[in-house]
Amino acid sequence: MWLLLQAYITNTSAMYDLPRKFNIAFDSGGAISTLADTNDIGFMAVRVGEGRSLPAGIYFRVLLCGITGHRQFASDCGLLLRPEETIAVAAAMLRVFIHHGDRTNRKKARLKYLVDQWGIERFLEETQKILTFPLVRVSLSECEPRNLVQRQAHLGIHRQSKSELFYIGISVPVGQLSAEKMRACADISERFGTGELRLTVWQNLILPNISEDNLESAKKALDDAGLSYKAGSFLGGTVACTGNKGCRFAATDTKSHAVTLALHLEERFPIFDQPFNLHVTGCSHSCAQHYVGDIGLMGVKVGGQEGYQVMIGGGADNDRGLGRELISAIRFEEIATKLDQLFETYLSKSNARETFLEFSRRHDIAVLRSFCQEQV
């Protein structure tokens, strides 16, 4: 569906006036999340069972006004759409924003600010005026609860739903691949799959539709190409924006710093065996969404050197919550020591079943700051 919407936006001149950042996500409702609740518009697949007020089947809920860089998650607006209606609704909502959104202030050129001004009801009324079919309101209680999101569940080898085929989740640290490895991915997909590669929000790749007979050959081809379908808890969930090597707004070299820090943590804490998300963004525009990471870093200058504001305890989907400021500004070279002390304290003071996220949310921020000073 997103390919259809992308084609519509690319080939429709009226869409050329969209701002530089306007996010739309389609989420299948399965174990692999697209973080739809962090987008301006999110379409979330849901199932309606038998015995409800409408025919059983797969539909889409609509989430509006996610913009975590401005400290807000998207919320369900009450609509229930058939899959074939989603592109038209997305297009109508985009046209409403283009016609009425405030483009005089780049900090407010997002859907949130139009809806804040109008309210959800008026926004949906204006959307309805453009459509040729009625928007249907259905309570969320009519839909089955979504499946639990399994953070980093995409990495490794997995059997596909209701299929004899498998997919392989390939680790691509902070989304950086050489041209040689990109060609290798395409070749492996064509030889052992169906010529398809998918991207994840964690900047990794999914190679789908591999038969069991081809699985070992595909794994060997990935190994030979220097591509890994395994990653530690830290590196597998680390994301970074372009950084100052490619963006004039960024204060720091986010990608290099993110990989360096993740590899340090993996070496320092090899027994850490739970999903962990490290988000490293170069500026307050928060392209890497530092507010929703277990640890989030936002680039700042510290005495003329590259450094970061450090956030803790963020999450999305089942773990929805905005991170809190742990450190206001610190040079990059000093972060590893602080996190070492924090994780040492976590491993020594948490119970066996408490995740780092639960641990970080259980404690007052002043207590967490004190943990960064402890020698365990």
* Section 231-255 average pLDDT: 94
Q: Give yes or no for residue 376 having a pLDDT over 60.
A: no
For residue 218, what are its two tokens?
A: 């595909």
Q: How many CA atoms lie within 13 A of 36 on its CB side?
A: 24
Q: Give yes or no for residue 323 having a pLDDT over 70.
A: yes
CA distance 67 to 74: 7
For residue 132, what are its two tokens?
A: 């040729």
* Mean residue pLDDT across the chain: 94
> CB of 67 within 8 A of CB of 287?
no
Q: Where are the domains of the chain?
A: 2-142, 156-224, 235-371
Q: Give yes or no for residue 82 having a pLDDT over 90.
A: yes
> CB of 131 within 8 A of CB of 177?
no
- CATH fold of 156-224, please? Alpha-Beta Plaits (3.30.70)
* Section 82-99 average pLDDT: 97
Strand partners, 167: 158
For the stretch 255-306, pLDDT in tens is: 999 999 999 999 999 988 888 999 999 999 999 999 999 999 999 999 999 9
The reply to whether domains 2-142 and 235-371 share a CATH topology is yes
- Going 325 to 331 to 333 to 338, the CA torsion angle's sign is negative
CA distance 222 to 204: 14
Percent of the chain with pLDDT strictly greater than 90: 84
Instruction: Look at strands 75-81 and 57-64 and give their pairing.
Output: antiparallel
A 10 A CB-CB count for 53 gives 8
* Section 102-127 average pLDDT: 94
Lowest-confidence segment of 92-96, 154-158, 220-224, 230-234 by average pLDDT: 230-234
Q: What is the pLDDT of residue 337?
A: 96
CA distance 201 to 351: 30
CATH of domain 235-371: 3.30.413.10
- CA distances in angstroms from 144 to 56, 160, 278, 320, listed in the order given: 11, 21, 31, 19
Q: What is the pLDDT of residue 152?
A: 78
For the stretch 340-351, pLDDT in tens is: 999 999 999 887
Q: Give yes or no for residue 99 having a pLDDT over 80.
A: yes
CATH superfamily of 2-142: Sulfite Reductase Hemoprotein, domain 1 (3.30.413.10)
Instruction: Look at strands 305-312 and 324-331 and give their pairing.
Output: antiparallel
Q: Give yes or no for residue 375 having a pLDDT over 70.
A: no
CA distance 234 to 251: 23
Q: What is the pTM of this model?
A: 0.91
For the stretch 174-232, pLDDT in tens is: 999 999 999 999 999 999 999 999 998 889 999 999 999 999 999 999 999 999 998 88
Q: What is the pLDDT of residue 349?
A: 87
Spatial CA neighbour of 284 closest among 251, 329, 237 = 251
CA distance 56 to 52: 7
CA distance 263 to 276: 13
